[in-house]
Each structure stands twice: as C-alpha cells, then as structure tokens.
Structure 1
Amino acid sequence: MLVVSRFRVPTEQAEAFRVEIETAREALAACRGYVGGEVGRNVDDAELWVLSTRWADVGSYRRALSSYDVKLRAVVVLSRALDEPSAYELVEPGAALNIDAPRSIG
C-alpha cells in the first residue's frame, strides 16, 4: 500500500516544516508494517511538499496512525495535508485490483 500526502507550505515556513515532516516520517517508520518512505519538494513549485510512505497493508497504516508516538510526533503535521485521497493500492502486472468499496483493517 502506498500513501501520498501533499502539503502547501509557504516559503517562509519551509525550514521548520522540513524538520516537522521528517519527524513525522521517522515516527511512522518506527511502526510495524512500514516498508519505506520519502519526503520530497516539488521541483516547479517550492511551496508544494510530499510525504510518500509504503506499508505492508492498509491495516498497518491505520494502526500506525492510532499509535501514541505517531499521534504525538506526526498527526499535527499530517493534519496540514491537502484535503484529497492519499491511500493507494500498488498495481502490479497481473494482480487483481481491490473492489471500489471501503475495506476493513483486517
């Protein structure tokens, strides 16, 4: 599972945001089911940032969001994400895709 969270950050807040988003990524990385992740900034619009993380499954990601450390170190910055869908399934050749319906944490 892939999670892509985008952020609009005014230039004057960029350095502080960089520290905050890296702290959030580190908190998420400590959670069970975390596979990898990166922080990036758009090459054409310096105010647009992204946090991209990969997870073993949707349940791992949802459990990570409810962990105490993530609530303490990441939720404040994650709440600044642009209001858009952020969770994606990985599409691999020949793999069946999920149905268009809410999924359980399972």
Structure 2
Amino acid sequence: MNRFRVPVGEGETFRVDVELARATLAERPGYVGGAIGRNLDDPELWVLTTTWEHVGAYRRALSSYDVKLHAVPLLGRALDEPSAYEPVEPGADLNIQATRSLG
C-alpha cells in the first residue's frame, strides 16, 4: 500500500502515471491484484494498493526493467511510511519481527 499527496491541479497527470504503474506491476509474476483510490474527504490523498503471492514476488517485481521505468519513479513519490502489510485472518499466525538474514 502506497499513499501519495498530490496537489489537485496535478491529479489528472498523476492518475495517468499511477494507472501506468499499476498496469506495469500487474504484468509481473506473483501479482494477484491491485487498486487505485482517491480519498473522498481529502482529494489530494491517493493510494495504490497491490497484492502479491508473497513479499519476494513484490521485491523481484521492483527489479524489473519495465517496473523501474514506469512504476519506481511514481513509487518514489509515495509518502515516507511503511507500505507492506500482511493479511490478518482469524486464527492465523502473524509475522514475527526478526532478522531475515542467514547469518
């Protein structure tokens, strides 16, 4: 989930860019789905939400040439906040914060 603060006057240009970014990400292996939204109360606040088979698929997608060309510049405009979330299902174990390197 990436949120963006976009001045109203730049909204139409941003919309074209975010749609291209979502479409480019959608071509990568492991992409499950995505959506673009704009806040009803604050029209300068936009969101790009994507769902992936796993975090590795998302990270590999970011290294693709097409994604670097068409999505990464837009993602660089996202608000500086955590953007990866895990699904929370009843009874499911949640991610445990731990170092992910092998030592």
TM-score after normalising by structure 2? 0.94
The runs of at least 4 aligned residues of structure 1 exceeding 6 Å deviation read none
Q: Deviations along 1:14-34, whole A, 9 cap, x unmatched?
A: 000000000000010000000
The structure that has the greater radius of gyration is 2
Segments of 5+ residues of structure 2 without an aligned counterpart are none
1:27 aligned to 18, 24, 29, which one?
24
Q: How many residues align?
A: 101
> Given the alignment of the two structures, is residue 94 of structure 1 paired with residue 91 of structure 2, yes or no?
yes
SS in 1 for 2:17: helix
Q: Deviations along 1:30-64, whole A, 9 cap, x unmatched?
A: 00000000000000000000000000000000000
Residue identity over aligned pairs, in percent, reads 68
Q: Which has the higher strand share?
A: 1
1:54–1:102 CA distance, 2 compared to 1 (3 A): farther
Alignment match, 2:43: 46
Higher-RCO chain (CA-CA 8 Å, sequence separation at least 6): 1
Segments of 5+ residues of structure 1 without an aligned counterpart are none
The one-letter amino acid paired with 1:64 is: A
TM-score after normalising by structure 1? 0.92
